[in-house]
Chain A
Amino acid sequence: MISQLSWKIGGQQGEGVESTDRIFSTALNRLGYYLYGYRHFSSRIKGGHTNNKIRISTKPIRAISDDLDILVAFDQETIDLNYRELRKGGVIVADAKFSPTVPEPSELRLFSVPFTQIADELGTSLYKNMVASGASWALLGLPIDVFNKAVEEEYGRKGQAVVQKNIEAVRLGAEFVISLAGGPLPDFQLEPSDGKAKLFMIGNDAIALGALAGGCRFMPAYPITPASEIMEYLIKKLPKYGGTVIQTEDEIAAINMAIGANYAGVRAMTASAGPGLSLMVEAIGLAGMTETPVVIVDTQRGGPSTGLPTKQEQSDIFALIYGTHGEIPKIVLAPSTIEECFYDAIEAFNLSEQYQCPVILVTDLQLSLGKQTAEELDFKRTKINRGKLQTGELPTLEENSLFKRYGFSEDGVSQRVIPGEKGGIHHVTGVEHDEVGRPSENALNRQKMMDKRLGKLNHVKVTNPIVVDALHKAPDLLIVDMNSLGGTVDEARGRLDIDGITSNHITVRLLHPFPTAEIAPYIAAAKKVVVVENNATGQLANLLKLNVGHSDKIANVLKYDGNPFLPHEIHSKCKELHKQPVKELV
């Protein structure tokens, strides 16, 4: 019996790859397995090769695997593009319709099952994905009733007849493959799991749920990959809580509406990816200058320009931190797990109101869209903190005086009121202003206001600005990363361990203000620092050098071909870097 297995389904976009993956993984999740999914897709809706990969395990996992055990193929292209990933003795289940072949002499097992023919006999070729999934499920020898239940949920709204046909397709696919294989494959039998259905979600779901639990009631946004799921979730849930989502004319409208709503007292956010963030930059500066809270989600994808819109990258780091003209206070938070996506979304809203500044929540495509098993989410941690927002009656203002919305204070944060309050009238402007918000070019006031706004960042307290795994006092390597990479890095570290190379691991969760004090001791203690990131210029490494120094021992491991790192890639690069003398690193 095995403790983990990787399964992949591929075909043309629009062929049912997504729905098959959904049913397959839902069933596995109900059985209690831990799952980690990866979607390989292009920005076309119909046509173009697409595949979904799931890693299935009896223990928690946070990375895709290097290789593959089962490949379900709807076309020859799927085999040609993916067969190299299959391990020795791996299995291909393919549609007999295209007379599948395996390109090289290889030690793979091919099961040719007439997906399309069986489906056609049932009435429509649409059922072929269920024939395929039934066949691959049967090879694993897992109980069929859970699977059928998932089929029922997927197709239930189309009526009982459709459900029955799909279930029949699953049964016929299973029967056919078993007649070829003679029974479930003995080397593919998973150990039983704990049997408890777990949370299974994408990062975008977790952010949206966190936002809702964190009091977000309004989301103006413009659709973009890989951010749209956030608005799509919230438009379903917000009406019950009195709120709503507006699909705006562009991201400039979205961010400005979110700023307007926050100014008027409602927790509001917008979400986008690189192109949208680029459009929002001027307004983010406005929020910084006017000390208006606002939360912005950036789901990073391949840039620049339209770049690789459906691919993994982490190249917005500098743009997010330094993007605005002039200098504003801003917090950039980078969750690294599904659970953190949830808790950080809540924290982002709290921080934005406590420090009265824009908070950017940055993810990457793999974290936003990769469906994964998550730990239970703790309702008790959904506390809302609105900072210095004044509620209740305010003293009457004297004639011709205004509320000191920008009053100087020790921590730089001023009292805030929302429009509608008697005694709270003040002015807000992106022009430099005085304590009541009136335009002022007075040099002394200017300096004091700049110091007040920027000084707020000195007090920022964030839950776990870094995630640390530092068993070793003076490790050979300190590996640093962000967002979705931590799990893959940990797998590579397991292999480095076996090689006798000691490593510590830090995932940076707070990109700005940079947690220099927290990171510095670990950098100092390590013999070498390797920064693993999905971009071409080493932005995270540069951030580290800028804030912590030690440039001489910081090395890059970069990948910017659009695909996430695989454990073996990080492992081999780290091994190489370990061998190099420190002075050759830079």
Chain B
Amino acid sequence: MATVKDFRNNVKPNWCPGCGDFSVQAAIQRACASVGLEPEEVAVISGIGCSGRISGYINAYGYHGVHGRSLPIAQGVKMANRELTVIAAGGDGDGFAIGMGHTVHAIRRNMDITYIVMDNQIYGLTKGQTSPRSSVGFKTKSTPDGSVETALSPLEVAISSGATFVAQSFSSNINQMTAIIEAAIRHKGFSFVNIFSPCVTFNKINTYEWFKEHIVDVSEFGDYDNTSRIQAMTKIMETEGMLTGIIYVNDSKPSYESLVPGFKEEALAKQSLEISAEDFNKLVADFR
């Protein structure tokens, strides 16, 4: 059986020392191993951004596509081969700005995919512009007088879009990240995992310390029931989204693949491409 080591490769990430994405990568590797996967059974599909490079740092099949489109590619992969564990990953700009349309619809569609957003509330790769996650007043290269737009609440969006698995974690807490990603992979449906992953180079406000001070964990809520959409929404609103843990799970909704008429358990990629002469003649007869 594969171990964490098998999910590592010898590529040195080009992330800045201290970047939150290092631990996210480690957590994905640990989670894959502890779920019992082999590297070739995993496909990591990533977007463009510092975070998007992650697919190249994990020993598994990896596709680094275009900005904002990791989810459509990931869904295509899943439809082609539902036996694969498909993990989509990228930044908050990738998923909540240019790719927001796909995020909402991928959540609605509910394919069995794990989507990990490395949320640093800024654009890292392009060197420090505002993101849909930036707070009002946040000064960046593109908002020198402070952002005036309302920051997006991805957890609320996810839940209102019909998500069946919503979690949030913090890059400093590798054990929690690993446990959440493990649960996300095991969840039979779309798993949305937002991870606070500080950009140490361009975001001097939302730092590791800042997150430590501001976040609460769902375990601190006492009798929190993460199968209740209403409780989940309430807590997200009460904490202004600054909570961690598995916030909402719905295990009763079947995944997209299992609802498609005629869709088999066996990977579509392994099925025959041919049709019989008899079938062909029938198909042609429709046009006479």
> Which residue numbers of A lie inside 8 Å of B, CB to CB?
29-30, 197-201, 205, 209, 212-215, 217-218, 220, 237-244, 246, 248-250, 252-268, 282-283, 286, 290, 374, 376-377, 379, 382, 384, 400, 402, 418-431, 438-439
Contacts and interface: CB of A to CB of B under 8 A. Distances in A.
A144 B33 CA distance: 72
B144 interface: no
Main DSSP-derived SS at the A contact region: mixed
A438 to B, nearest CB: 6
A267 B267 CA distance: 13
Counting chain B CB atoms within 10 Å of each CB, the highest count among A212, A256, A259 belongs to A256
Interface residues of B, number: 61
24 contacts: A30-B288, A215-B273, A241-B271, A242-B262, A242-B266, A243-B262, A246-B75, A246-B79, A249-B104, A257-B72, A260-B78, A261-B77, A265-B81, A266-B269, A377-B284, A384-B273, A402-B9, A422-B38, A424-B40, A425-B61, A428-B64, A429-B64, A430-B65, A438-B11
B56 interface: yes
Contacts of A425: 39-40, 59-61
A400 B9 contact: yes
Nearest to A209: B283
Contacts of B10: 400
Nearest to B257: A244
Contacts of B83: 420
Contacts of A429: 55-56, 62-64
A265 to B, nearest CB: 3
A217 B268 contact: yes
Interface in B65-86: 65-66, 69, 71-81, 83-84
Interface in B84-140: 84, 101-102, 104-105, 109
Given A265-B269, A266-B79, 11 more contacts: A249-B104, A253-B71, A256-B65, A260-B72, A260-B74, A263-B76, A264-B77, A286-B66, A384-B273, A425-B60, A428-B63
Interface stretch (B21-29, B187-195, B274-282): B274-282
Given A242-B264, A418-B269, A427 B72 contact: no
Which 7 pairs show the lowest CB-CB distances between chains A and B?
A: A260-B76, A239-B262, A215-B273, A265-B269, A256-B72, A264-B80, A257-B76
A242 B287 CA distance: 23
Counting chain A CB atoms within 10 Å of each CB, the highest count among B43, B73, B284 belongs to B73
A519 to B, nearest CB: 33
A200 B40 contact: no
A271 B236 CA distance: 41
A250 B275 CA distance: 30
Contacts of B273: 214-215, 217, 267, 384
Contacts of A290: 63
A263 B40 contact: no
B260 interface: yes
B261 interface: yes
Given A420-B41, A420-B267, A257 B73 contact: yes
B45 interface: yes
Given A213-B275, A419-B81, A428 B62 contact: yes
A249 B80 contact: no
Given A239-B262, A428-B64, A201 B287 contact: yes
